A and B are shown apart, each in its own frame.
Chain A
């Protein structure tokens, strides 16, 4: 993270939220036009289905959740792989190096990678378990659904923000002023 004394956004290598939202809305509409509602948690199911079919083909056929999502030869799988490629290209062409342990996390829990990785594993477990229960994630339910005016999406959106904010308060505790730059 670059040191900034002032909060002038022009110095930041990150795109501003408004131009970025025009760019992402353009992509979301492209997806609606060429495929349908964009989704990403389904990509986890699609990938997993492909792996399990190698090992135990009978298992995926016996499970409703795998029957309702196509395997890796699908738009859903191509999309999440594309996201990884897009993130890779973005990262390679970005001046700020990535950190395996975020600075704000390190300030609270120390440098231990194991502790951070354990926390993100648990977090990852929760968000995917929850997405599959609710029928979608931030993209597949909140963004896709709200774009289509779905009540499920607005209901989901309010609660995820509220509970993420409460959880962050508990996880990070009172925020120290040096973390607020």
Chain B
């Protein structure tokens, strides 16, 4: 029961924040993907950078549970490509769909229905698809820390990389916005 209440509380807080930043607004996502508005990608990258630093602290004091999702070159890559196409088309990702439905967006209701259909189809063919796409190029739960040999240094690298991305996005996306203001 505690788990259910914790999940519910975490979800409410999460849904509220992503609504407030505009991540449940498909218009904002389209403008992010078209390099017009930079807020959402910067928000996502900054969230990860801050969380990575925080998680380093949590694990240092032995709090929490981690579980690294393994890499399969084929399945992770193909999944990402299909995901990107769906994300670019609809402007919703699985989590924002729930919050956008709560917000009252009808197009998100259909994204959710499509999501259930996609889940059902994958689950039905799991036994055939996993040996075909996932297992042959399975690499395991590799992390940046395995590559550089130290978790704190890997976090510093990740934060530096994501900060650089935020700066670049701010410049490239911003330029588009300024150009539109003049035109």
Contacts and interface: CB of A to CB of B under 8 A. Distances in A.
Contacts of B117: 121, 124-125, 128
A87 to B, nearest CB: 3
Contacts of B129: 133
Nearest to A15: B20
Contacts of A154: 144
Interface residues of A, number: 128
A65 B16 CA distance: 30
A21 B46 contact: yes
Most chain B CB atoms below 10 A, which of A63, A103, A117, A118: A117
A84 to B, nearest CB: 4
Interface string B60-97: 00011111111110011111111111111111111111
B10 A123 contact: no
B144 to A, nearest CB: 4
Interface of A: 1, 7, 14-18, 20-38, 40-41, 43-45, 47-48, 63-66, 73-91, 94, 98-105, 113, 116-172, 175, 177, 179-181
27 contacts: A17-B21, A20-B17, A24-B17, A33-B63, A37-B69, A38-B14, A41-B94, A41-B119, A66-B123, A77-B7, A83-B15, A86-B19, A87-B102, A90-B103, A117-B106, A120-B110, A126-B83, A127-B83, A129-B119, A130-B86, A147-B55, A148-B143, A149-B144, A151-B144, A152-B141, A158-B80, A168-B88
